[in-house]
Structure 1
Amino acid sequence: MRSAAVPVAAAVVLLVVSLQVAVDGPLLGLDRWVRRAVHTARHDLPTKLPDGLGHVLSDLGSSVPAIPVLLLAGALAAWRWRRAGVGRWWLPLPVAALAAGAIPLLVVPAKSAFGRPGPLGDPLLPGQWGWYPSGHTATAAVSYGVAALLLARTMGPRAARGLTAGAAVLALGVGAGLVWSDFHWLLDVVASWCLAVLVLWPLDRWMPRPFDRPLDRRVPGPGAGGCQASGSSLR
């Protein structure tokens, strides 16, 4: 996620999709096509197991468990930074809290402004939020993404890559579960994935990576000809 092309592409896709939703443009035909394809697949399958899996995946985008996972990851990262003697060891705590608070600030005003009906076509009631963008998808992508980002900074490269891949699979799975279960249109989900990228990319660039720095080598002690520890460079 280091390339600047990633957030630029996410911003462009988000802008295009949002404009199409606002004017009921032709791109919304993709939503209807995907919904018909999903309904056909659900009808043709001999088992209801995918339906149950879709609901389970959708539930992973709820505030519980996603927000507690995010806050726990922030606390665990701070604890590991503190044990390692990292300066500003407390930083993951406010990052996790701010990320949790940013999710409704990003999603709720957009839902209210666009007022898009859901796949079932029921009209919105007075004061009811719309379906665009998907709150569950945004909650999952931001919460699990930031949690992985924080914990990855306490691990080696291989573990960090695995954790990041796991968070991405979770975010994709929640979106797929919502579409499969007929809870959201595909473009609702795509918009929230783009929002998550626009949150995670600058955070990934800004957050320090203290565990990427090697420890200082031991250096000779003054006048002793021996060696003494110069301490950790993790600051």
Structure 2
Amino acid sequence: MAASAVQAVLLVVISWQVAVDGPLLGVDRWVRHAVHAARHWLSSPLLNHLGAALSDLGGSVPALPVLLGGGALAAWRARGAGFRRWWLPVPVAMVTAGLIPLLVVPAKAWFARPGPFGLPLGPDQWGWYPSGHTATATIAYGAAALLLGRTAGERARRLLYGGAALLAFGVGLGLVWSDYHWLLDVLASWCVGGLLLTALSRLPARVLPHRL
């Protein structure tokens, strides 16, 4: 509960500052300058390629197929375990996948925040806030881990949750390192994803199979 409250407050504060072009956006500029200095100092093509590769993990492909595949695998495992509503992870995964653009796209259009390069938005652009790749990675990988975790033992569950968290963190880090997004864009999407995953994790056992 406390973590969700912190995420909600942080999301509101960041959104407010983006909307009014407030002083908190100075954090974005400072971080971008620090990242540029680090990239120049390290001068590592390998790190730059790694940053871009991590960013790509937040795309609809591969994130959404992982989510839908995780739902299907969770249903298959639940059926094998004899759960009555073994099939429910599949529609839950599909609904979760559909929620991602519904949460992100209207916000992008509303805030219409320019990207790190400061170029004006084109007529076919929605804006950079919040980060769609970060939200997609956080929600898709996190939801897949939650659905599978409900049919797994404690050790496997921890590995799934930890792996999903690392993927979400890596995508956000890659986006900032590659200068694709401001840091606050990424932080806001982590908050959005965290709040949605918390709600999903609280679905009762009668709605989703749950191995205790």
Q: TM-score range by the shorter chain?
A: over 0.9
CA shift at 1:125, angstroms?
1.2
Output the amino acid matched with 1:139: T
Verify: 1:19 aligned to 2:16, yes or no: yes
State, as a whole percentage, how many aligned pairs show the same letter.
Answer: 66
1:204 to 190, 201, 207: 201
Q: TM-score, normalising length from structure 2?
A: 0.97
Q: Quote how far apart the aligned CAs of 1:105 are.
A: 0.1
SS of the equivalent of 2:211 reads helix
Q: CA deviation at 1:155?
A: 1.0
Match of 2:151 among 149, 154, 166: 154
Aligned equivalent of 1:56: 53
1:169 to 149, 166, 171: 166
What letter matches 1:210 in structure 2? H
Q: 1:178 aligns with which of 175, 181, 184?
A: 175
User: Is the radius of gyration larger for structure 1 or structure 2?
Assistant: 1
- What root-mean-square deviation, in Å, do the aligned CA atoms of Structure 1 and Structure 2 show? 0.9
How many corresponding residue pairs? 209
Cα distance in 2 for residues equivalent to 1:159 and 1:207: 20
Which residue of 66, 79, 84 maps to 2:81? Answer: 84
Aligned residue runs from structure 1 range 80-229, under 5 A: 80-208=77-205, 210-212=210-212
Displacement of 1:207 after TM fit?
4.5
Quick one: distance in 1 between partners of 2:31 and 2:130? 17
**Cα distance 1:21–1:72, how it changes in 2: closer, same or farther (>3 A)?**
same
Q: Which residue pairs with 1:9 in the alignment?
A: 6
Residues 60-99 of structure 1, C-alpha deviations (whole Å, 9 max, x = no match): 0000000000000000000110111101111100110001
Note the alpha carbon deviations across 1:136-175, whole angstroms, 9 max, x for none: 0000000000000001111110110111000000000000
Which segments of 5 or more consecutive residues in structure 1 lack a partner in the other structure?
213-235
* Uncovered stretches (5+) of structure 2, i.e. residues with no partner: none
2:204 and 2:159 mapped to 1: Cα distance? 19
TM value normalised by structure 1? 0.87
Task: State which of 31, 34, 39 in structure 2 corresponds to 1:34.
Answer: 31
Report the equivalent of 1:66: 63
Task: Give the counterpart letter for 2:34 in structure 1.
Answer: A
- Indicate the larger mover: 203-212 or 171-180: 203-212
- 1:46 deviates by 3.9
Query: 1:210 & 1:160 partners in 2: Cα distance?
Result: 11
Moved more, 78-87 or 139-148: 78-87
Shift in Å at residue 198 of structure 1?
A: 1.1
Aligned to 1:222: none
SS at match of 2:122: coil
- Could you say which structure has the greater relative contact order, defined with CA pairs below 8 angstroms and 6 or more residues apart? 2
